[in-house]
Structure 1
Amino acid sequence: MTQSNGETRLQRSRVQQLRDGITERSQRARSTVQNITTNDVKGFFRRNAFVILTVAAVIVGTILGFGLRPYKMSYREVKYFSFPGELLMRMLQMLVLPLLVSSLITGMAALDSRASGKMGVRAVIYYTTTTIIAVFIGIVMVLIIHPGRGHKDEFTKQEKIEQVSPADAFLDLIRNMFPPNLVQACTQQFKTQYAKRVVTVKVLVNETLFSLSNGSQELKREEVIPVLGTVNGINALGLVVFSMSFGLIIGNMKEQGQPLRDFFDCLNEAIMRLVAIIMWYAPLGILFLIAGKIVEMDDLSEMGGQLGMYTITVIIGLLIHAVIVLPLLYFFVTRKNPCVFIAGLLQALVTALGTSSSSATLPITFKCLEENNHVDKRVTRFVLPVGATINMDGTALYEALAAIFIAQVNDMEMNFGQILTISITATAASIGAAGIPQAGLVTMVIVLTSVGLPTDDITLIIAVDWLLDRLRTTTNVLGDSIGAGIVEHLSRHELNSIDTEIGNSVVEENETKKSYQLISQESECENAKIPDNKDRVGLLLAGSAKQTPLARADLFIAERGSQRLTADRQPTSHPNNSPLIFSSFEVSQAKD
């Protein structure tokens, strides 16, 4: 009885503490709201101007698009109306190539081979894990909801789909990894095409009533043969492989590779400044992209029945992966609030929704991760370009779900072996899907062929692909970004080790090869600079210009980031107008 009373008293105490905590938080929130001033509101809008404008553009574009649908605009009028959105796509795509190459080269050059190897393994494990989870979610959702119930007659086929051999598609993937011409890789990628040729076969003919002697007869037949061809578009996979290899080589070259590292660093910084300018135009472009697509889309009545259920199934699957799986994965690994991380990505996600291209969104994703979420540039420059090329969670989920949906429409029962085959091929096909609009439709041919489903039935779902493509692109961008955050968290030890090694190597290099030179007149002591090492700032002199002439100052301190460099003057006398040469260095942790 005493124990029961003690437990009751403890429970009451906990409940009271909980109530007190809730009351305190509510009072604090009420006080904060009451103390909000006009300047606070202006500051909030100023800090979040890009995000607010972008979200507003999506809302206004949706309303405008549905408002213009009753006017039945012609194809030419729709294209004219969507022209501002087309300009945004062109500007973003213009930056993809230099940003992809420069970011990967600088990112890999900043890492040693050991650190890049570990980071690469972590990234690949993350990509594989999330893709498999996405495929599993897609298969479970389509088997539970079963959107393919009904009659196939409800659909209308729109166009013919080109047949693709899975073996040829796999070989094209390998070919694109090793382009023979880097200039060509900037504009074209390899794709097997098919041609017909007539083959003549000689057949032996025995003696008959109509033939007095044995002989041969020529039979002609037509066969389809694979022919190596190209299609327009950046060969992102080949450029990724080359840039990663090139960056690692530059990093291992140390001093010899420094000019190239400086060049690509400067190029990357210039591209990011261009991105900052384009971001001001992005809301206007997104508005017209979305409005134009809504005006252009087919009759909404086609969204009913099986196609409507299919659309709902895909959306639910993508939401489960993007809203539940990825944030939970980020929380369990980093122990940080995923909502704060995702809030910093809002503009990149909205841009992905408008452009339906993860590659075109790449410049915005870089800026959001590095400036809003403060992810290490060495990680973003390595993880994001690779992720935009091979990590397609939304595409993998969509392809697995769509393949089983087409089987349901055709009243075909899928056994466990076929579902497993779909899982594997959907995972592999998503890796080969380029980060361009509607690439999933092309790679889905491979998935359907692997289990003997009719590839022409892809045309059944084209009517709603414009919407689903935007949603799965947003999921892809979110997956890449969360992957960068997770990889940075797991790689912080290697990154700190590299920072320490760089600091030690700088000190050692200056001790053995080149001393600091501080060129300054005695009267300019307070404004002294280090002209031959522009990265070190915050020079402090031990003694003022009046009390300690420059030639007699014996201690100089320079700070760089979190490191402090202490330099002692050489024990030789110099005239006031001559350079001071320092030879003794010590690196320590800077104090805030």
Structure 2
Amino acid sequence: MIKLKLHWQILIALLLAVIAGSLTGTTTELFGVRFYAMFDFIGTLFLNALKMLIVPLVVSSIIVGIAGIGSGSAFSKLGLKTLLYYVTTSLFAILVGLIIVNMVAPGIVDGEPAKNLIGLSENTSDVVAKVEGKGTGDLVGVFLRMVPTNVVAAAADGQMLGLIFFSLLFGFFMTKIEEDNAENMYTFWQSIFQVMMKITDWVMLFAPIGVFGLVAKVVASTGFAAFVPLAWFFLSVMAGLLVHFLVVLPLLLYFVGRVNPLNHFRAMAPALLTAFSTSSSAATLPLTMECVEKNAGVSNRTSSFVLPLGATVNMDGTALYECVAAMFIAQAYGVELGFVQQFTIVLMALVTSIGVAAIPSASLVAIAIILAAVGLPVEAIGLILAVDRILDMCRTSVNVFSDSCGAVIIARITGEKGVLGEPPLNQN
């Protein structure tokens, strides 16, 4: 029996959804039940399953990642340089995405918000009120929300910024207690993280069904007009990913690592193709390490620290995608986001990209967090699911390439010999 890969299943579901939605419309019934209502039920159920994963997945991922950094020689020079690289490249990626989405404005069609074309149900005035409530005044409110008065209440209310900050602190100070207790705590959170990854894998098995329901609902209510802004959204994300992949990261390799970017592209080709086909930086990690060590000449000491850490906390492509998606949805609702709201999106995209598990489509969870943080309705995720799989393959390749660039650059600035055939940099 032939088992189709998930991306083929989603593409087939997308095609079937277009056909079903166009044939049934909003009024066709079967045994007294409208097809439109069935599409809505299926899509809502899938979105609820994604929302269910948010708190345990993000908390366990961040705690495990930070605890892994903090143990042993965690905050040594190697660790600090690695973290600085990852934060810098993620920030560059987000800013590239922010610039492109503001220039292209994919959520605006013929000068009007694409809300009606896309079939988003919430009133624009309600969305505007929520967004204004999230960021009025100045930036102080953004930072105040980082420190919740009650962590459990923050989790229940979906205030993920505070929960993420608490998780960062918890993971760091977990390494400061007695070794036996720290090891037990790490095992506990690592087990939760592994369980959540399994559950996420299981939920994503139903992604084709969820995509079918969500897309069929949109097509049934709006026809094919919904795919015009969606195409512009797709092109905006692809443009941002290409700029980061072909311009930003090669410039860092050339000016900071002092190596030929073309040599590194050749060295990483097998890992990049694997990342593209699997949409998982975690699944690609063994091959990434092999390419970085054997083809690029980076030592195992550097690659074994930088790459596993990068597979957890360095998600340049994902961070860019989250930013563009949130801005696209805001534009589609006709919501003008000011500096505070855009700063919140940048900050949340940067922080949540750390907490996104290195598995296919986990960024959908992070997008839900960002939308909630700025007061935008989570239901709009349903539309971008139609192109999420293809973009997931592309952004995973960017994530993996950024990790490998980090390994090369860190190896170069720490004085390693023979990286991509180059002599070591002079060390002061």
Q: What TM-score results when the alignment is normalised by the length of structure 2?
A: 0.62
Mapped partners of 1:426, 1:315: distance in 2: 17
Question: Which of 1 and 2 has greater Rg?
Answer: 1
What is aligned with 2:322?
399
C-alpha distance 439-374 of structure 1, shift in aligned 2 (>3 A): same
Bigger relative contact order (CA 8 A; separation at least 6): 2
Q: CA deviation at 1:67?
A: 12
What is aligned with 1:32?
none
What is aligned with 1:187?
191
What is aligned with 1:459?
382
What is aligned with 1:476?
399
2:241–2:395 contact (8 Å) kept in structure 1:
yes
Q: Quick check: 423-432 or 132-141, which moved more?
A: 423-432
Mapped partners of 2:10, 2:384: distance in 1: 22
Mapped partners of 1:183, 1:355: distance in 2: 27
Deviations 1:530-563 (A, max 9, x none): xxxxxxxxxxxxxxxxxxxxxxxxxxxxxxxxxx
2:10–2:389 contact (8 Å) kept in structure 1:
no
1:165 aligns with 2:88: no
Q: CA deviation at 1:123?
A: 1.1
Q: CA deviation at 1:163?
A: 6.8
Mapped partners of 1:234, 1:454: distance in 2: 24
Calculate the aligned-residue CA RMSD, in Å: 4.0
Mapped partners of 1:70, 1:425: distance in 2: 30
Q: CA deviation at 1:148?
A: 0.2
What is aligned with 1:332?
255
Amino acid at match of 1:421: T
Mapped partners of 1:357, 1:135: distance in 2: 20
The equivalent position to 1:147 in structure 2, one of 101, 106, 129, is: 106
Mapped partners of 2:296, 2:83: distance in 1: 22
Aligned pairs (5 A) from 1:325-474 = 325-474=248-397
Mapped partners of 2:362, 2:273: distance in 1: 20
Q: Quick check: 164-173 or 349-358, which moved more?
A: 164-173
Amino acid at match of 1:491: T
C-alpha distance 401-232 of structure 1, shift in aligned 2 (>3 A): closer
1:304 aligns with 2:227: yes
Mapped partners of 1:405, 1:171: distance in 2: 29
Aligned pairs (5 A) from 1:506-585 = none
Query: Hey, which of these two has a bigger chunk of helix by percent?
Result: 2
Mapped partners of 1:378, 1:339: distance in 2: 24
C-alpha distance 156-352 of structure 1, shift in aligned 2 (>3 A): farther
2:197–2:357 contact (8 Å) kept in structure 1:
no
Aligned pairs (5 A) from 1:61-210 = 117-150=76-109, 151-156=114-119, 164-166=158-160, 167-172=162-167, 174-175=169-170, 178=174, 180-189=184-193
Q: CA deviation at 1:172?
A: 4.3
2:360–2:392 contact (8 Å) kept in structure 1:
yes
Mapped partners of 1:122, 1:448: distance in 2: 31
What is aligned with 1:315?
238
Amino acid at match of 1:188: I
Amino acid at match of 1:381: S
Aligned residues: 304
Query: Hey, which of these two has a bigger chunk of strand by percent?
Result: 1
Mapped partners of 1:69, 1:443: distance in 2: 24
C-alpha distance 449-182 of structure 1, shift in aligned 2 (>3 A): same
1:173–1:432 contact (8 Å) kept in structure 2:
no
Amino acid at match of 2:324: L
Q: CA deviation at 1:450?
A: 2.4
C-alpha distance 358-67 of structure 1, shift in aligned 2 (>3 A): closer
> Unpaired runs of 5+ in structure 1?
1-60, 74-99, 191-229, 236-291, 497-592
Q: CA deviation at 1:376?
A: 1.0
Q: What TM-score results when the alignment is normalised by the length of structure 1?
A: 0.45
Instruction: Name the % identity.
Output: 37
Mapped partners of 1:453, 1:147: distance in 2: 17
Mapped partners of 2:91, 2:353: distance in 1: 11
Q: CA deviation at 1:455?
A: 2.4
> Unpaired runs of 5+ in structure 2?
18-63, 122-155, 175-181, 201-206, 419-428
